[in-house]
Chains A and B, each alone.
Chain A
Amino acid sequence: MPKVKMPRKSTTVDMTAMCDVAFLLLTFFMLATKFKPEEPVTVTTPSSISEIPLPDADIMLITVDPKGRIFFSIDNKNMRKDLIDNIDDYKKLGLTQQEKLSFAIGSSVGVPFSQLKSYLDMDPDQQKTVNNTTPGIPADTSVTNENNELAAWIRVARNTNPKLRICIKADGNASYPEIKKVISTLEGWKIFKFNLITGLKGVPPGTAAYTMKQNATGNKVQ
């Protein structure tokens, strides 16, 4: 032991500042973000300059994955409950209450009607595995085709909730004929107005849209 004790300085760092930062960021993330909706498949949408936000409620979402498989969903748990009741009546699937509940709380479905009962019977983990291999909802360019199950889904969903806005979320690599099936089906039901979900990209300078945007922001400042 040395005779002279050196004044010992604590090695602890003041954490207050760091704690402030951490909670500031936490608050930011909590307020500025919303939870990701559960998706059956990963879809990378192409980007556009359009800035129209996705409506909050009454959405019918048709997802098309890179392989062209079609998944269908609507928002709002109560609406989903009504939808599956109507689908059950319409297609005579003989679903149990348990299976209907599974649909109401689940995410998008992408199985043909023939497999829907067994699909809804599974637990969520099994459903995820099935989503990787399922052929998707069968669709066709003609709405009158018996095999166009997407047409049946859209029709029943629109009867359940007439206010539904149709959104198509398709992967950039999905081939055009698959998209055409979806668009033709919508056209077959006389739906000519729908939304394509896209990412956001900047407006290229020097173009007509860029000038319009500049004018719009310029007017706001004045």
Chain B
Amino acid sequence: MAEAVKAAANNVESKQYIVVVLGSEHYGVDINYIDNIVRMQSITRVPKTQTYFEGVINLRGEVIPVMSLRKRFGLEADEITGKTRILILKPEAQGSIGIIVDSVKEVLTLSNDSIDKPSAKGADDDKTNFLTGVGKNGDELVSILNIMEVIQDKEEDE
């Protein structure tokens, strides 16, 4: 919160991000997209759909599809621990979607000028397309996720 106040005082445009952990990397998700963060719960598998979708969950009477961010990024499968969380994103009024992450770390305020645009686009590197930039949080780097890209892109082999 203190950072938020500071940023406001400096009058630099800044945004708040939820920092999530995936393996050894930290990713930032624009807080405006986030509707909710829930603990891991039982997921109903949906057959014959994109491989990175784990299935659907029931969130207070709504059926919401859930994808594994690890599978989306081509990492090894999730290892469900007590820290595993599902981020419920609501990019549009009509549709929610959940993404599974290893854990949720903190809320971070970053001013826009402290985010570096990703270096020259590695066309082969799929992950690069999912990022809008890299921000610094002390010693750590936080990759800012391009949420729309993450959730809308269909499988390449389609």
A and B are interacting partners: no
**Partner-A contacts on B (CB < 8 A):** none
